[in-house]
Amino acid sequence: MSHSTDAQLVRRSRLGDRDAFAELVERHAGRAAAAARRILRSREDAEDVVQEAILSSYLSLDRLREPSRFGPWLAAIAGNLAKMRLRQARTAADLPGGLAAPADDVVEALDSLRAALAVLPDGEREAVVMHYVEGLSCEEIGLRIGRSAGAVRVRLHRARLRLRERLTHRKERGGMVEVTLEDVVVRVLAPAEGEELPRLANERLRVVLLKERDGERRLPIWIGAPEGDALALHLGDESMPRPLTADLMARLLEAAGAQIESVRISSLRDSTFFATIVVAGQEVDARPSDALNLAARVGAPIFVDDAVMEQAGRAGDTLAEELDAIETRLVEVAAGSEWASLSPALVKSLYPPVVPK
């Protein structure tokens, strides 16, 4: 161990010195563990909380105003997390990635976590930081960001699944390429006079774009209007006044204690895509539109069979041309129309509220 002060080690850690942060952990993990044990009365639970506190301190190191007080700060984080665990009966499985690393390996694991957090959607990353770093409850986060506590819990659930998937390096499995839900696009016409939003050139067709996580290919899948609208709303972090079918499915699964492990676009036959949902190790056949909506709501990873991606995946610079070619075979293309993202505002304009007579 060096003779550097805590303040010096904190400054070096902020500059990316891995050894400096490891030394801070060695110095002060015992104090943090003692703070957690006083609250939890369990050595095992306290050790879990300390690992979580180390993660939190690493992610928020730039917020420490007095670098010389790293030890008390880490102990305070551990104490807050212990209280939160006690209050919410949280289990060790809630820790993103299930990290339980010795001091020599902790910085490498933390670097992996920081990289994983960087790819989370903004809303999920914000919820993770508030919950695990600042120690806020779901109710407190909801008040801060203007969302319900239930919506915050969904964000945290989705974020934990994404983090676990990325931290365990399961980007590809068994010939399946991992993809992300990039967008839902539609063919639109210019807005009518006096209107702000464009008009749909075709009321029935929606196209969901799945982007290869570690590549540039995109897989376009044509889906129906109700499913496409539901997916577009969710991607835009919006909802309808009444729960949609996909929301109900997700809530029923949660109530039953079932966890979706993954969604897979498994095959392409006669221009039709087929999907499966993996639940408790069992594969359930599903339409891609239903499977993707469900994956979006529970944060399940999405995979595409290698052969399907090779056959139907498209590079970004040719995607619009490919969509045009497919659409021409299905319907008459409206003159002056173009492809555009299906925004939540546009979706809601298609479903005006019913005014009772």
User: Per-residue confidence of the chain (357 residues) as pLDDT tens digits?
Assistant: 567 899 999 988 888 777 888 889 889 989 999 988 888 888 888 887 888 888 778 877 877 888 899 999 999 888 888 887 776 544 333 433 333 334 444 445 555 566 666 667 778 888 887 877 666 788 888 888 888 888 888 888 877 776 765 554 443 445 788 999 999 998 888 887 777 888 887 788 889 999 998 788 889 998 888 888 888 888 888 766 566 677 778 788 777 777 788 899 988 887 889 999 988 777 888 899 999 998 888 888 999 998 888 888 887 666 777 777 766 666 666 777 788 888 888 888 887 665 555
What domains can be seen in the chain, in order of their start residue? 6-167 (no CATH), 172-349 (3.10.690.10)
Buried b / exposed e along 295-310 (16+ C-beta atoms within 10 A): bbbbbbbbbbbeebbe
Task: Check if the beta carbon of residue 182 is closer than 8 Å to that of residue 218.
Answer: yes
pLDDT at 114: 62
pLDDT at 177: 87
pLDDT at 118: 66
pLDDT at 303: 93
Residue with tokens 């702000």: 196
pLDDT at 90: 40
- Neighbouring C-alpha atoms within 13 Å toward the C-beta of 346: 26
Task: Check if the beta carbon of residue 341 is closer than 8 Å to that of residue 298.
Answer: no
Helices marked H in the chain — which ranges?
6-14, 18-40, 43-59, 70-88, 103-118, 122-128, 138-145, 149-167, 225-235, 245-255, 288-298, 306-312, 319-330, 344-349
pLDDT at 328: 66
pLDDT at 93: 39
Task: Check if the beta carbon of residue 219 is closer than 8 Å to that of residue 313.
Answer: yes
At residue 324, φ and ψ (nearest 5 deg) are -60, -45
Type of residue found at 277: I
